[in-house]
Amino acid sequence: MGIVSLYIVLHFWLGTVGGTCSQFNALSCDECLQLGPQCAWCTLQNFTDFFSIDERCDTPEALLQKGCSGEFVEFPVTNVKILKDQGLGKSAGHTNVSYIAPQKMRLQLRPGSQLTFQIQVQQPEDHPVDIYYLMDLSASMYDDLKMIKDLGSTLSKEMAKLTSKFRLGFGSFVEKPVLPFIKITREELANPCRSVDFECLPTFGYRHLLSLTSSTDKFNEIISKQQVSANIDVPECGFDAIMQAAVCGDRIGWRNDSMKLLVFVSDADSHFGMDSKMSGIVVPNDGECHLDDNNEYSMTAHLEYPTLGQLVDKLVENNILLIFAVTDNQRQNYENYASLIPGATVGVLASDSGNILELIMTSYKELRSEIDLEVLGNTEDLQLSFTALCQDGAIITGHKNCSNVKAGDVVSFNVTIELKGCLAGPWRFSLRPVGFQDALEIELESQCVCDCHQIPEANSTFCSRGRGALECGACVCDPGFVGPKCECTEVSCEMCSGLGECFCGQCVCHPSSFGHVYGPYCECDDFSCLRFRGELCGGHGECDCGECVCHSGWMGEFCNCSTSNSSCVSLDGSICSGRGKCVCGKCECTVPGASGEWCQRCPTCGDVCSLPRSCVECHLKAKDPLDECAVKCNYLHATFSNSTGQNPLICSLQYCPEPPNALLIALGVCMSVLIIGITLLVIWKFLVSVHDRKEVAKFEAEKAKAKWQSGTNPLFRSSTSTFKNVTYKSAGQQKSDIS
């Protein structure tokens, strides 16, 4: 047996015992690893002496079955390495306290594989809190400003019950001081409240007035000095102020380890996005700090309002939680904003801000009672799923938050990561509880490169004396050479029908999960034949190069036709009653007019006496019937013996009926026509009479209902005239009438 023939035989054998990885024809170790987490590569040098290089890629079990021992199998497995885990809270005994564990890890995943790990989060007991009070100072907030003059003291007393590390700051905003948001006459610029006979400050954008401090007296002092301003339109530049308070951390004084709360107080909506284009401001907000020496927003008339997406990015980046304290008429707007901002809450502010203390305390306790994980960084090619293991024992699949958490409680989260494909390099992302400074930093690497590729052997003697480089146990041939050991010169052959590869000028067909592929150019297979009722070749044949070869007793393109005539035998024992042929187990009638399952019905074929008529007449007329009628009756004897077993003459005499009586038939037809005609005439006459009676009755009824006027017609003049003869004086004489 030649080398190529042996290669083909073993190739097919390996196709039957190999795993799913071998079907994808990986030509290198790296390609093999990327097929799936179950694939491995054999680096044994002599493993493919007679096999294709793609046979090196298979499952570890299949490679072992093929003869590749475990020490030569390249099979990276998922790896998790904890780089930093110092425990939770103060009990861990570290100087730098962490409320999430572990703090740093490295993951190595195969494409398509999953990894699950657990993290723990503790709710701090005495967590530092920074509250920055950002207030709308438009004219409508005049009474609110008076109400919060002692807010610093009362808020500090309440927060002291929850934390010993509390600080408070203050800032204010109104609107961009440009048309069409304000009036720009000299008088209106100096006093925007001039039209209502009130003195107020010129319109400004955002002012930072007090950095975060533990001194409540300074906060109260700043509040007492504030005055309101005014603008024309209702919405304010609140988002401008939020952006500057978030990004100007050094000026505001945010602490790294504190819970940062930004309390936004307003009775109006906020401009955002492209609203400033109506004033000619077209430069997008850059998300940078622009506070001048007077702590005022210097770019308010030059940069657009920030978009909601920009606000979300900066608030998350700086770990700031937003509390919207707004009036009831603005509640719906800010609830829509809060639904898009992680950790944001909304509280309804009284018309004079009288409930601001209660609102801040309620929002703070709500935030402290919930732990919600957020993902920071690029995770586009990752599939992340979470399961929350809360402090009350509840296991919530698909959630990454726990509620009703008290100070000191510890909750856990199971995190499952699935890698979809290979990464260009190490990826870094973080998992952080909302409002916490601590986070779990994760470094992720994809295992798409084999270690054996690190040390290739150039011009290896194993590869036909230097015709290629030995890499991962396989030869990477120089141009012009092919084969497992680069032993063949590159000879062009047919395309192998796309189902094989050219090996030393011959096609070697790939194995298929559907069946066997063969032929000089891999053009044949045993699975692409026609199917009947879902079965290949109707289940009664073999598929040979796309055509069905039927088993004995079957025929047809689908091998679905039986060659047996048993189903075509009629009740008299003949095939299709002698009027057709049996095709595929069913009768096909050939005699005109014949029908039925066995062609047993035939109105135009005549009766039983018409067939042997010539034979009967011959017997009746001939002097020597046996000699003269032998030819005419020979065929009929055979026919009747097969069907009825009777002599045709006997059948003719027995079954031939008397001729019909023509006179009787004609008389019956005439009488039938006469009776039917008389019957129809009587029916017609009856219907006409009924109709006439109805019409007469209807006329009589209408006549009886008519009412005629009894007076004389004034237009009527009688045709008779009466004259009196004046000369006739006889009293007894009658008058003469002349008509």
The DSSP symbol for 138 reads: B
CATH architecture of 79-125+372-446: Sandwich (2.60)
What is the spatial distance between Cα 69 and Cα 215, in angstroms, rounded to a whole number?
A: 74
Is the pLDDT confidence value at 549 over 80?
yes
CA dihedral 7, 13, 14, 20 (to 10 degrees): 130
**Residues paired with 373 in a beta bridge:** 433
Q: How confident is the model at residue 709 (pLDDT cuts 50, 70, 90)?
A: low
Q: Note the pLDDT of residue 712.
A: 63
pLDDT of residue 84: 92
pLDDT, position 622: 65
Mean model confidence pLDDT for the chain: 82
Cis peptide before 124 (omega within 30 of 0): no
Domain ranges in the chain with CATH number 2.10.25.10: 531-562
**Structure letter (DSSP) for residue 595:** B
pLDDT over 80 at 633, yes or no: no
**What percent of the chain clears pLDDT 70, i.e. is strictly above it?**
82
Q: What is d(CA 193, CA 230) in angstroms, rounded to the nearest whole number?
A: 6
pTM exceeds 0.75: no
Average pLDDT over residues 455-482: 76
Instruction: For 140-187, write each residue's pLDDT tens digit.
Output: 888 888 888 888 889 988 888 888 889 999 999 999 999 899 988 888
Task: Give the range among 29-43, 449-463, 578-592 with minimum mean pLDDT.
Answer: 449-463
pLDDT for position 478: 78
Give pLDDT, residue 627: 62
The answer for 502, left when phi > 0, alpha when psi is -120 to 50, beta otherwise, is beta
Residues of the chain with CATH 3.40.50.410: 129-370
Which residues of the chain are in CATH 3.30.1680.10 domains?
6-76
Handedness of CA 617, 622, 624, 629 (dihedral sign): negative
Render pLDDT for 660-675 as a digit per residue (tens, 0 to 9). Answer: 788 888 898 999 999 9
Model confidence at 204: pLDDT above 90: yes
Task: Look at the block and give the residue holding tokens 């998790």.
Answer: 80
DSSP lists the bridge partners of residue 132 as 169, 262
User: 601: buried, middle or exposed (CB in 10 Å: 19+, 13-18, 0-12)?
Assistant: middle
- pLDDT by residue (tens digit) across 250-283? 999 999 888 999 999 999 999 988 899 989 999 9
Which tokens sit at 684?
Answer: 């017609």
Neighbours of 462 (CB within 10 A): 18
Averaged over 492-497, what is the pLDDT?
A: 69
- Residue 652's pLDDT band (boundaries 50, 70, 90)? very low
Residue 59 has pLDDT above 70, yes or no: yes
pLDDT over threshold 80, residue 681: yes
* CA 68 – CA 62 distance, rounded (Å): 9
HEC profile of 473-521: CEEEECCCEECCCCCEECCCCCCHHHCEEEECCEEEECCCCCCCEECCC
Which of the four pLDDT bands, split at 50, 70 and 90, describes residue 92?
Answer: low
pLDDT in tens, 395-429: 999 999 999 999 889 999 999 999 888 888 889 99
Higher-confidence position of 252 and 624: 252
As annotated, the residues of the chain forming the CATH 2.60.40.1510 domain(s) are: 79-125+372-446
Alpha-carbon gap, residue 77 to 271, rounded angstroms: 53
Domain 6-76 has CATH 3.30.565.10: no
Q: List b or e across 331-368, with b for residues whose CB sees 16 or more CB atoms inside 10 angstroms.
A: eebbeebbeebebbbbbebeeebebbbebbbebbeebb
DSSP string, 650-682: HHHHHHPPPPP-HHHHHHHHHHHHHHHHHHHHH
Is residue 472's pLDDT more than 90?
no
28-48 residue pLDDT tens = 888 888 888 899 988 887 776
For the chain, percent of residues with pLDDT exceeding 90: 35
Give me the pLDDT at residue 12, please. Answer: 36
Which CATH number is correct for 531-562, 3.30.70.360, 2.10.25.10, 3.90.1150.10, 3.10.20.30? 2.10.25.10
d(CA 375, CA 459): 49
**Which pLDDT belongs to residue 736?**
41
If you search the block for the tokens 């700086």, which residue do you land on? 318
The mean pLDDT value for 86-101 works out to 74
Rounded distance between C-alpha atoms, residue 656 and residue 699, angstroms: 69
Domain 129-370 has CATH 3.40.50.410: yes
**pLDDT digits 0-9 by tens, 333-386:** 999 999 999 989 999 998 888 889 999 999 888 888 999 999 988 888 889 999
Q: Is the pLDDT of residue 631 over 60?
A: no
Task: Quote the pLDDT of residue 228.
Answer: 92
Residues whose CB is less than 8 angstroms from the CB of residue 577 and which lie 6 or more positions away in sequence, other chains included: 570, 587, 594, 596, 598, 599, 600, 602
